[in-house]
Structure 1
């Protein structure tokens, strides 16, 4: 299966997927589930959202401070992640939408993670590569093909 992000829609498409997802900080799995939501938007690798119940207790805490606004989903809340004992804090490593726009209500309170902010993410058993740049949170796997927004090699997509 090959997907080309240039063919993804705008506004983004949401898909509930039955499949494996795992997120690591150091050698600890901080989140794991057998379903996730993919948000597929033109020129973006999919952003992956998982239920808060998929996280190990003590591994995520809501942050305070400046929030961001998505034209499709609304006002984002950010999350710090850590190991379950509180070590190795990754600031603003995840985000969610408490009151998403009507079209995206299935995302309500599910959390997405920036792969660049944690040590490893796996999707369907494959180690994920983070979307280029520091703004976007897409998950790149072998079946996702670019060019990708945020990649300095493709300034036309910035």
Structure 2
């Protein structure tokens, strides 16, 4: 099934206008994250990765997280564009979520600016906001994009999208 892109309204972006290979850009938006009832991260120093059919993935500097929240987790994976990812567990407010976040310690050259920055699955924490708007997690268990009212799809991860 070939996807039919949603036409963006003024002020929106279509994920079908994002490039492949993906592009890295700074984001001026305020990112806030809560876990276990505790605000664990707050920054305006994030990057976003834009890739065709995916809502943006956001990468935060490690200093945006409260001390003691990030714990190295077992495993790794490889992204054809960014390189080898390391995984992180998140702990706060008596709650621990294994493998909820990842980073690229030595990313490929086009993504060098996110070395050590941390991305996370929005659906594995209590809440994520971008400039005060609550984020909806990208569909599926594999992808880590964040959906807001500023992006339209359809988004990779919905049923039938594996071959897109």
- State the TM-score, normalized to the length of structure 2: 0.90
| Residue of structure 2 equivalent to 1:61 | 71
Deviation of 1:26 (Å): 2.8
- Stretches of structure 1 that go unaligned for 5 or more consecutive residues are none
Q: Distance in 1 between matches of 2:162 and 2:116?
A: 33
1:17–1:38 contact (8 Å) kept in structure 2: yes
* CA root-mean-square deviation: 1.2
Specify the SS of the correspondent of 1:46: strand
Aligned residues: 154
Residue 43 (structure 1) aligned with residue 50 (structure 2): no
Deviations 1:16-50 (A, max 9, x none): 12220001013210011122101000000000000
- Stretches of structure 2 that go unaligned for 5 or more consecutive residues are 1-10
| Residue of structure 1 equivalent to 2:36 | 26
Q: Distance in 1 between matches of 2:108 and 2:161?
A: 30
Indicate which of 11, 14, 19 corresponds to 2:24: 14
